[in-house]
């Protein structure tokens, strides 16, 4: 898995703080921003998070480049609707000799790994055979969920919070959970105040929301 932060809104703390302050100020936007110098923007962002006033977070965005992840992951990722995605097309990009993700539980089991890798090899060969006689858009029907893909994904900060709450939970699927950790680490470097409270439900003031399905093993904070 490779994850990079391609772009983000410049001065994210100031943008969020200015958006929040604007709602209650008669001043023009330039004056509001001037008054948010030093630690004032950061302090206001932390106050907003504490109060649960999340709408100003929607004014800043973060764009991630994501590679070497499975189609099984991407199918889960795009369920987060308030985000924008561009994904490598299996219709137009020929996937001959495709790479794939090997789940840890299979990698650790000798017999399972042998069967898995044999099946992947058979599918690679069959896919190549089909490409010679049918269009790629039809040959792709035999490609597995393990097949790797590439995406560029853009979230606003509020949507990212929701993503982190759901996907950093230890009950989420291992691969997308690993992606969420990498994305949070990158986002916190550029916007530490904004993402200071980001994490699974169990890190929050109300605790785990999984009820009887709770793992009761909160992940370590970063």
Place of tokens 């391609």: 6
Domain boundaries, the chain: 2-85+148-213, 91-142
Q: The tokens of 208 are what?
A: 């785990």
Q: CA separation (Å) from 30 to 8, 19, 22, 186?
A: 21, 12, 10, 29
Q: Which long-range contacts (CB under 8 A, 24 or more apart) does 112-118 make?
A: none
Quick check: pTM over 0.85? yes
Q: Among all residues, which ones are annotated catalytic?
A: 167
- Length of the chain measured in residues: 222
Give Dmax (Cα) for the chain: 69
Give per-residue pLDDT as tens, 136-178.
999 999 999 999 999 999 999 999 999 999 999 888 999 999 9
Q: How far apart are CA 29 and CA 3, in angstroms?
A: 35
Q: Is CATH 3.40.50.1950 the right assignment for the domain spanning 2-85+148-213?
A: no
Give per-residue pLDDT as tens, 167-208.
998 889 999 999 999 999 999 999 999 999 898 877 876 677
């Amino acid at each position: 898995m490779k994850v990079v932060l391609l772009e983000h809104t410049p001065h994210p703390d100031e943008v969020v703080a200015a958006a929040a302050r604007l709602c209650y100020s008669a001043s023009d936007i330039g004056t509001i921003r001037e008054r948010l110098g030093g630690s004032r923007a950061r302090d206001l962002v932390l106050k907003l998070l504490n109060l649960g006033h999340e709408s100003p977070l929607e004014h800043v965005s973060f764009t991630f480049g994501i590679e070497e992840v499975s189609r099984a992951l991407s199918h889960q990722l795009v369920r987060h609707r308030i985000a924008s995605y561009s994904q490598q097309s299996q219709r137009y990009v020929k996937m001959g000799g495709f790479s794939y993700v090997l789940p840890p539980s299979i990698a650790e089991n000798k017999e399972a790994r042998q069967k898995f890798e044999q099946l992947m090899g058979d599918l690679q060969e069959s896919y190549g055979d089909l490409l010679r006689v049918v269009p790629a858009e039809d040959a792709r029907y035999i490609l597995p969920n393990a097949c790797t893909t590439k995406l560029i994904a853009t979230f606003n900060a509020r949507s990212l919070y929701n993503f982190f709450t759901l996907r950093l939970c230890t009950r989420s699927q291992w691969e997308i959970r690993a992606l969420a950790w990498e994305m949070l680490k990158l986002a916190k470097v550029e916007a530490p105040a904004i993402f200071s409270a980001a994490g699974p439900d169990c890190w929050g003031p109300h605790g785990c929301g999984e009820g009887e399905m709770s793992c009761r093993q909160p992940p370590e904070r970063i």
